[in-house]
Amino acid sequence: MKIPFGTITITETSKRLIMDALEKKRVSGGLYVREFEKRFADIVGTAEAVAVSTGTDADALALAVLYDFGATRGDEIIVPALSFVATGNAVLQAGFTPVFVDVDPMTLNIDPGKIEAAITPRTRAIMPVHLMGKPAAMDAINSIASRHKLLVVEDAAEAHGARYRGRNAGALGGLGAFSLYVAHIITTIEGGIVTTDNREYAEILRSLRSHGRACKCETCMLNTSGAYCDKRFQYGDQHDIRFMFERIGFSAKMNELEAAVGIGHLELYQDILSRRRENLYYFLEHLRPFEPVLRTIRKEPYEEIGPHALPLVIGESARFTRDELAGHLEQAGIDTRTLFSSMPTQCPGFAFLGHQIGRFPVAEYVGERGLHIGVHQDIGPREREFVMQTIEKFLEKHV
């Protein structure tokens, strides 16, 4: 049996919309991008959603909003030490300095008890990551941010469908940044999107994704209307607003073909979410007897986990390595991925920041002994049972 890490569904609606865009030769961002944005905002429960080219760009642009409110290059953003490298990369790409905080071993998310010690006069935001779709401790994080007047930007890349105390991930801070990569619950193949209730933030985001243009209304920016815009020369005949640039920006727009894939996926969203959540919760329940040798996250009563993938961490008392377990799963046809790394101490690209091994012990432990496997919608009861039988057989030999 072969169980890949991820899957993708291209719907008939998506195919029809793609062909329509190709036939009309309107393939840059337009009506479909705007429709996707509105529908995504409705799902998350925010007033606005601004589509961009990748999840990393979603993080970076969300942070770059800070420049309109007094931030300067080199200011600090607090992030968890354990995450996919896109989190740290985005902070640097936005022109800020990442300040890393170790994670809670039980949740794999940033440890709120260690955040305040990392705050300095140059701190501008906290960017919690909902790793593997498990919501971070947002009550504590928002409370800290409020006391220190910091923006909270959720890295909700993997958290489609996650809920925390009745609210959706992406609506728990000032801004939420999602990845729409092919392995995620909602995908545009590549792509990202930023959600917010703040209309001013949304306008700035629309400017940032298009080189920092002064023209940032949703109609003109996405070519959703061919009509003449009466704001075009509002600064005088020699000043076309479309070619005035108010801020340092990015080139990070989504196109119509990607949006078409996303619109089709939104039709299946609840079904995909339900199937993936059933798979994840099955695994979480059936893995409990193997703790502490093999542990995973837990679902709390006040949350729903966004079912991105199943994390597994080898316990300290285990007599086997991550590579041995991963090799056993791979030989059985079960695709695996390592559970990321401690960005500041285990990712060579961040070595210039000067952090030494041992500074983030929990993140480093997970980076050495963690892995994750898929819970996607094409996995059914037969596949779930096969995965558990495969893990059980391995543990019988090694415990």
Tell me which residues are annotated as active site.
184
Quickly list H helices, 94-236: 138-148, 199-208, 218-221
Cβ contacts of residue 192 below 8 Å, gap of 6+? 51, 52, 53, 54, 55, 56, 57, 58, 59, 157, 177, 178, 179, 180
- Under DSSP, the state recorded for 135 is P
Q: Could you give phi then psi for residue 171, rounded to 5 degrees?
A: -125, 20
Instruction: For residues 144 and 147, give the distance between their C-alpha atoms in angstroms, rounded to a whole number.
Output: 5
- Under DSSP, the state recorded for 133 is G
Helices (H) and strands (E) in the chain, counts: 12, 16
Using CB atoms within 10 A of its CB, is residue 167 exposed (0-12), middle (13-18) or buried (19+)?
Answer: middle
Instruction: For residues 365 and 24, give the distance between their C-alpha atoms in angstroms, rounded to a whole number.
Output: 53
Instruction: For residues 121 and 224, give the distance between their C-alpha atoms in angstroms, rounded to a whole number.
Output: 43
Q: In this structure, is the dihedral angle defined by the CA atoms of residues 359, 361, 363 and 367, taken in order, positive or negative?
A: positive
Prior bond to 292 cis, omega within 30? yes
Closest to 130 measured CA to CA, from 98, 152, 147, 146: 152
Using CB atoms within 10 A of its CB, is residue 289 exposed (0-12), middle (13-18) or buried (19+)?
Answer: exposed
Extract the tokens encoding 357. Answer: 């091994």
Closest to 189 measured CA to CA, from 255, 250, 276: 255
CB atoms within 10 A of CB 128: 30
- Is residue 144 within 8 Å of residue 96, measured between CB atoms? no
Helix (H) or strand (E) holding 175: strand 175-179
